[in-house]
Amino acid sequence: MEYRELAVPGAFEITPRQFGDPRGLFLEAFKAGPFADAVGHSFDLAQVNTSVSAAGVLRGIHFADVPPSQAKYVMCAKGAVLDVVVDIRVGSPTFGTWDAVLLDDVDRRAIYLPEGLGHAFMSLEDGSTVLYLCSTGYAPGREHGIHPLDPALAIEWPTTARDGAPLTPLLSEKDEAAPTLAEAQLQGLLPTMEAVTAYLATRR
């Protein structure tokens, strides 16, 4: 596996080696030892989620209170999505920065987001199937969102699907009603860099 840290510090793109033969292919989707060596801490799996999305579906930007928040190791088993990580840590030198990784069933990359970051993705074809390995279970009272089309973030979402057809963003009612990054900060919803750093220190 190859690990590449993204423009948002602490988030990584993971590219596996694929071994193919006439029967198909094999790859290691996650390996604890190399992961901890590259990232600096272990990944404790508590829950695995799966979503299936039509082309244009836009999920996120989602995050959870720190502590314990929720680290995610995300893969696309079928189809393709543009997966985005956003630095929402107040006090971070890269606050408001985002980066993106194409997750698909060709290169079979993964993205890792530690606690305290925002996560979103857009599906690039019908039936895109995303797997989320999560460090903690879902807790509705601790979950929050930021509007993925916030002009201040200026995330460059795709406008065409994998087959070249035009894409129209399709959001849930909850995501459509989410505040902008600035509004979420004013509401005191965002984690601070200090709190995230202190919590991650307990996991090393």
What are the per-10-residue average pLDDT scores of the chain (204 residues)?
97 97 95 95 94 98 95 98 98 98 98 97 98 93 96 98 96 98 98 94 79
Backbone angles phi, psi at 127, to 5 degrees: 80, 10
Q: Report pLDDT for 203.
A: 74
- The residue type of 201 is A
Examine the residue annotation and report whether 41 is marked as an active-site residue of this protein. Answer: no
Residue 140: count other Cβ atoms within 10 Å of its Cβ.
6
Q: Which of 3, 41, 132, 199 is catalytic?
A: 132
Predicted TM-score (pTM) of the model is 0.95
Complete domains list, the chain, with CATH: 2-201 (2.60.120.10)
Q: Report pLDDT for 133.
A: 97
Q: Report pLDDT for 7.
A: 98
Examine the residue annotation and report whether 62 is marked as an active-site residue of this protein. Answer: yes
Q: Which of 41, 62, 138, 147 is catalytic?
A: 62
Q: Report pLDDT for 81.
A: 98
Q: Report pLDDT for 122.
A: 98
Cα 199 off chain centre by: 19
Per DSSP, which regions of the chain are E strands? 2-5, 12-15, 18-21, 24-27, 47-53, 58-64, 72-78, 80-86, 98-104, 110-113, 118-123, 128-134, 143-145
